[in-house]
Amino acid sequence: MAPTNSPIIVKKVRKAAHAHHGGAWKIAYADFVTAMMAFFLLLWLISMTTPEQREGLADYFAPPRVEATESGAGGPMGGQAPDAPGTQEVRDADADRAAPLSPVGADPGRSLAETSGQDPDRGGLADSRRDSQIELSSESQQIFQAAAVSIRQAWNALPDVAPYSDQLLLEVTEDGLNIEIVNQEGRPMFSEGSRYPLEPTRQAIAAIAPILQRLPNQVRISGHTAAGIAYSDPNYGQWELSADRANVVRGLLGEFGLADNKVHSVVGRATSEPYFLDDPYLAANERIKITVMNAAPPVPPTMAP
């Protein structure tokens, strides 16, 4: 067969490159994933903390509200004037002695500014000292909140104490920080009729001793019993038992770090101050109460060397 002279056709296919889309979406997606991870981490942390810990952390990071007052002294008073209803009123004997006396024969109806030359609305020594007392009280509240968080964390870290967390009560009041270890029906913290605490109670008391030692305030320890308990010894009853338990707690606190000069008083209250006023026979009335007293120390914490 004779060769043909047909032309040879070569097809060249040119592949066009895709347009460059850029990497900005990758950065946006990475930011989104990071934000979601932080959000779920925050939810997890909130679910793992107790209400006392969340309240203490909120108070720690919340800046004090400083508002101007007519007295000219100012101070973080929580948005209230010193004479507002519900605000604790502090009387200073030194300020009363320093107040100028009215001249003999002065009209009782005349103002202090007219008789002494001092306008009470413009501020004075009494206002300054009163503002200082309010500022110190606010600082004490923050210290108590932080101490409550530390105590709760110390208890939760102890495997033998954590199951009794609902019987370990913390409360910040006007009197100070109240720490109460209460009995429950079937779950006592002290053996019946014994002055010595059970092992979980002993560990809970030992855990708070170093924390109380770091505070500048003194503590008051009181023992309480429930009504209706029979005592085999006629010479040893509820008063003796409550006093002995309070003194044993004082000894445990001292053994684990609390100095003797930090103890203000150790008393037995028997059934005179029940936890449940309407039912003094409940087991929860049998308890130990440790109060960190809300009293100004000789030297304010911020001025300690």
Listing DSSP states for 196-230 in one string gives: SBPHHHHHHHHHHHHHHHHSSS-EEEEEE--TT--
Q: pLDDT tens digit string along 182-223?
A: 999 888 999 888 999 999 999 999 999 999 999 999 999 999
- Give CA angle at 117 (111, 119), nearest 5°: 60
Contact criterion met (CB below 8 Å) for 133 and 91? no
8-state DSSP, 234? T
Residue owning tokens 């000069």: 261
Torsions phi, psi of 210, nearest 5? -65, -35
Query: Positive or negative CA dihedral for 102, 105, 111, 116?
Result: negative
Provide the residue ranges of all domains of the chain, joining segments of one domain with +: 53-59+125-297
8-state DSSP, 284? G
Question: Which of 41, 43, 214, 196 is CA-nearest to residue 143?
Answer: 214
Q: Which of 3-7, 96-100, 217-221 has the lowest mean pLDDT?
A: 96-100
Tell me if the domain spanning 53-59+125-297 has CATH number 3.30.1330.60.
Answer: yes
pTM above 0.75, yes or no: no
pLDDT at residue 21, as a whole number: 61
8-state DSSP, 165? G
As a whole number, mean pLDDT of residues 6-12 equals: 73
As a whole number, mean pLDDT of residues 52-67 equals: 65
Residue owning tokens 């960190």: 292
Burial of 109: CB neighbours in 10 Å, binned 0-12, 13-18, 19+: exposed
Measure the CA–CA gap between 130 and 149, rounded to whole angstroms: 29
As a whole number, mean pLDDT of residues 241-266 equals: 96
Alpha-helical regions (H) of 22-123: 24-48, 51-61, 93-98, 112-116
Contact criterion met (CB below 8 Å) for 221 and 209? no
